[in-house]
């Protein structure tokens, strides 16, 4: 009985007898669990973050320093903040962002460079100097790599040691006894950290992009020099009196850039410049100068020439600027959503401009038709935007949920697609049976899976529909409308098809005022086509607008008129599936535009 009494008393002690006591008991237990979880999370955060912070700090504090061909420089590693490989020069930066998937970066920076001394060292043998510079720097690479790896490992170890010391100090302050097998436990922690480091390093090796050197980005004056190679003298005379010095530095950079264009990249047979969304801006002198400096053979214009679509907007000066450009460099043009049938008629009347497709007013809106032209061996198709600024209903809308269905329906109708049979067309342009001299689908290209080399549209949604309806039959689409270029990693998909969305070459015009957005940069690109009709690379330019050229009182064909903040990105394309026997050459000329349905 006594034992039963004792048992009864013991059974009553752990359990609260009232509802309030039970709730307090549960809250106490929950708080204890939360504290243990918080301590666990903080402990592991310290174990992870402190090593990373120490490694990052060590990489920043102790850069590798050396001198190559009289040029003192330092190499600094980084974690998370600046991945990839970047290099500063006296005139701008040169960036290679896609080296691997690990957020580890290496930054090369010259120290107190004497550009006069650098010019003297380069002398007249610029190629020889560049080669010696490249060889000597390559000899430093193993030492640089060991230095950075050692800093990374030491930083991780120091950070982990600090984390362990903090944990032991907290344990001591709380009056807890020393753990059994303390040394073994700490060795296990170091081993786990080493294992994680090896896993991350292995991921870096597996994600290494062997073509990282073939996708670069230039900023600053280096980019401006790329943009205006024929105008360096006047540009730097105004900016600085040391043109001979700066010209030599730019020449060194250009020679290093050319070294990337090795034997893996075929020679260029045709150069295509893409522009879009001019919006009546006075930037055609800029386009003309760029086309002349880079020997552009063809200009592809994705539309929105106008602001409101009226004939009165096209002043004689503006028409003459287009005519002057088209007189030396032929242009292919499609109408955008700001271009009315009147705009189409004006553009069709300018010599040298080939308008692709038709745009006519109908009872409830506008009807559009696709067109095709053979240019320098490439089959180029185009389809206008069915909208017009201020048009009725969906034809004047801008909301995607209204516009996208209209765009897709217009594409299907223009291509003659059956509603129940994707990929079938009434015309022959997309099935590889076009006629034309040296075209993508002529007899010399029999069996070519791409019946159209380049399809020009204004709205990206329409370009998406074209690729869906003609899978494997369009090698590249070009569109605009968004006033910003698509990202470099969006240019080419897994099937090697290219999707180019060009920014506004007119910097938005009145359209950006209506949208209430900041003025975007002036954007355009130049694309290289090899003799076998492969699209090999694209160089994309972006100029942050300083203001309208008229306000600056400068020549609109010079970089000063548009601002000096220039960015140049270079992307090399993977080979596309092009039939043997294709030939692209400027000698083939530009043919006459014909309707899509008559292209077979």
Confidence of residue 555 (pLDDT cuts 50, 70, 90): low
> What token pair was written down for 497?
């098809």
DSSP 8-state code for residue 394: G
Q: Which pLDDT score, from 0 to 100, does residue 526 have? A: 93
| pLDDT for residue 344 is more than 70 | yes
589 contacts 373 by C-beta, under 8 angstroms:
no
Q: Which pLDDT score, from 0 to 100, does residue 275 have? A: 97
Q: Which pLDDT score, from 0 to 100, does residue 463 have? A: 97
Least confident of 114-128, 237-251, 565-579: 237-251
Q: Which pLDDT score, from 0 to 100, does residue 442 have? A: 40
| pLDDT for residue 346 is more than 80 | yes
Residue 217 CA to its chain's centroid (Å)? 9
Q: Which pLDDT score, from 0 to 100, does residue 523 have? A: 92
Q: Which pLDDT score, from 0 to 100, does residue 535 have? A: 96
462: phi then psi, degrees, rounded to nearest 5:
-65, -40
List pLDDT tens digits, range 132-180: 776 777 788 788 888 888 888 888 888 878 877 877 787 778 777 776 6
Mean pLDDT (the chain, rounded): 78
Long-range contacts formed by 459-465: CB under 8 A, 24+ apart:
459/336, 459/337, 459/385, 459/403, 459/407, 460/501, 461/400, 461/403, 461/404, 461/407, 461/408, 462/383, 462/385, 462/407, 462/408, 462/410, 462/411, 463/499, 463/501, 465/407, 465/408, 465/411, 465/412
Q: Which pLDDT score, from 0 to 100, does residue 550 have? A: 38
pLDDT > 90 in the chain, percent? 34
Concatenate the DSSP letters of all residues of 148-217 into one string: HHHHHHHHHHHHHHHHHHHHHHHHHHTTPPPPTTHHHHHHHHHHHHHHHHHHHHHHHHHT--TTGGGEEE
* C-alpha span between 506 and 523 (Å, rounded): 8
Q: Which pLDDT score, from 0 to 100, does residue 469 have? A: 94
248 contacts 127 by C-beta, under 8 angstroms:
no
362 contacts 314 by C-beta, under 8 angstroms:
no
List pLDDT tens digits, range 181-218: 767 777 777 777 777 777 877 887 888 877 776 677 77
> What token pair was written down for 472?
């494997």
List pLDDT tens digits, range 530-552: 999 999 999 888 887 655 443 44
Looking up tokens 């040169």 gives 94
| pLDDT for residue 492 is more than 90 | yes
List pLDDT tens digits, range 366-419: 999 999 999 999 999 999 999 998 899 999 998 999 999 999 999 999 999 865
Q: Which pLDDT score, from 0 to 100, does residue 536 have? A: 93
Query: Which domains, from first to last, does the chain contain?
Result: 54-214 (no CATH), 269-582 (3.60.21.10)
Q: Which residue has the higher pLDDT, 11 or 390?
A: 390
Burial of residue 394, with CB atoms counted within 10 A of its CB: 0-12 exposed, 13-18 middle, 19 or more buried:
middle
List pLDDT tens digits, range 58-74: 888 899 888 877 777 78
**β-pairing, 92-96 with 215-219?**
antiparallel
Q: Which pLDDT score, from 0 to 100, does residue 207 have? A: 83
> How many angstroms separate the Cα of 373 from the Cα of each of 370, 376, 444, 468?
11, 10, 17, 22
Q: Which residue has the higher pLDDT, 423 or 16?
A: 16
Confidence of residue 356 (pLDDT cuts 50, 70, 90): very high
Give which of 472, 481, 369, 479 is closest to 430, Cα–Cα. Answer: 472
* C-alpha span between 232 and 71 (Å, rounded): 24
Q: Which pLDDT score, from 0 to 100, does residue 377 have? A: 97
* C-alpha span between 189 and 43 (Å, rounded): 12
Q: Which pLDDT score, from 0 to 100, does residue 241 have? A: 36
450: phi then psi, degrees, rounded to nearest 5:
-100, 100
Q: Which pLDDT score, from 0 to 100, does residue 118 have? A: 61
Q: Which pLDDT score, from 0 to 100, does residue 444 have? A: 34
DSSP 8-state code for residue 492: B
Q: Which pLDDT score, from 0 to 100, does residue 54 have? A: 87
DSSP 8-state code for residue 491: S
Q: Which residue has the higher pLDDT, 81 or 439?
A: 81
Give which of 61, 83, 101 is closest to 209, Cα–Cα. Answer: 101
Q: Which pLDDT score, from 0 to 100, does residue 90 have? A: 54
**β-pairing, 215-219 with 104-110?**
unpaired
For the question of whether the overall pTM of this predicted structure is more than 0.75, the answer is no
């Amino acid at each position: 009985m006594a034992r039963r009494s004792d048992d009864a008393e013991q059974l009553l002690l752990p359990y609260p007898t009232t509802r309030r006591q039970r709730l307090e008991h549960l809250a106490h237990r929950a708080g204890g669990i939360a504290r243990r979880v918080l301590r666990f999370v903080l402990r592991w955060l310290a174990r992870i973050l402190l090593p990373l912070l120490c490694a990052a700090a060590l990489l920043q504090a102790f850069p590798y320093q050396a001198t190559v061909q009289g040029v003192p420089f330092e190499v600094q590693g980084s974690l998370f903040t600046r991945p990839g490989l970047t290099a500063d020069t006296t005139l701008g930066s040169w960036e290679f962002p896609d080296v691997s998937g690990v957020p580890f970066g290496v930054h090369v920076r010259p120290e107190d460079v004497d550009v006069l001394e650098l010019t003297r060292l380069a002398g007249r043998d610029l190629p020889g100097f560049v080669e010696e510079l490249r060889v000597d720097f390559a000899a430093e690479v193993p030492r640089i790599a060991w230095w950075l790896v050692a800093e990374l490992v030491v930083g991780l170890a120091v950070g982990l040691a600090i984390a362990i010391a903090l944990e032991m100090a907290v344990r001591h302050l709380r009056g807890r006894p020393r753990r059994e097998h303390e040394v073994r436990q700490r060795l296990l922690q170091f081993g786990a950290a080493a294992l994680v480091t090896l896993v991350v390093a292995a991921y870096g090796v597996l994600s290494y992009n062997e073509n990282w050197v073939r996708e670069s980005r230039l900023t600053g004056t280096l980019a401006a020099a790329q943009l205006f190679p024929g105008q360096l003298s006047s540009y730097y005379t105004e900016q600085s009196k040391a043109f001979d010095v700066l010209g030599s530095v730019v020449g060194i950079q250009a020679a290093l850039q050319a070294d990337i264009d090795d034997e893996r990249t075929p020679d260029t047979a045709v150069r295509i410049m893409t522009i879009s969304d001019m919006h009546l801006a006075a930037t055609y002198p800029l386009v003309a100068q760029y086309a002349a400096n880079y020997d552009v053979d063809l200009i592809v214009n994705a539309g929105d020439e106008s602001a409101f679509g009226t004939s009165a907007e096209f002043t004689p000066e503006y028409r003459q600027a287009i005519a002057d450009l088209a007189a030396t460099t032929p242009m292919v043009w499609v109408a955008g959503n700001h271009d009315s049938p009147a705009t189409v008629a004006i553009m069709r009347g300018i010599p040298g401009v080939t308008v692709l497709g038709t745009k006519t007013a109908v009872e409830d809106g506008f009807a559009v038709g696709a067109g095709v032209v053979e240019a320098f061996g490439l089959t180029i198709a185009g389809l206008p935007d069915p909208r017009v600024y201020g048009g009725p209903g969906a034809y004047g809308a801008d909301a995607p949920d209204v516009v996208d269905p209209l765009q897709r329906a217009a594409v299907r109708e223009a291509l003659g697609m059956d509603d129940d049979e994707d990929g079938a067309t009434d015309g022959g342009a997309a099935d590889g049976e076009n006629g034309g001299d040296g075209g993508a689908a002529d007899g010399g290209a029999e069996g070519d899976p791409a019946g159209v080399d380049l399809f020009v549209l204004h709205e990206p949604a329409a370009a998406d529909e074209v690729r869906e309806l003609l899978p494997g039959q369009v090698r590249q689409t070009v569109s605009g409308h968004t006033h910003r270029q698509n990202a470099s990693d969006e240019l080419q998909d897994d099937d090697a098809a290219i999707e180019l969305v060009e920014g506004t070459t007119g910097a938005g015009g009145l359209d950006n005022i209506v949208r209430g957005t900041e003025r975007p940069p002036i954007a355009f690109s130049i694309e290289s086509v090899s003799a076998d009709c492969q699209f090999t690379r694209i160089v994309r330019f972006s100029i942050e607008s300083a203001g309208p050229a008229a306000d600056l009182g400068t020549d609109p064909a010079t970089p000063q008129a548009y601002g000096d903040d220039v960015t140049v990105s270079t992307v090399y394309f993977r080979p596309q599936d092009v039939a043997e026997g294709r030939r692209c050459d400027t000698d083939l000329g530009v043919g006459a535009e014909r309707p899509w349905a008559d292209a077979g």
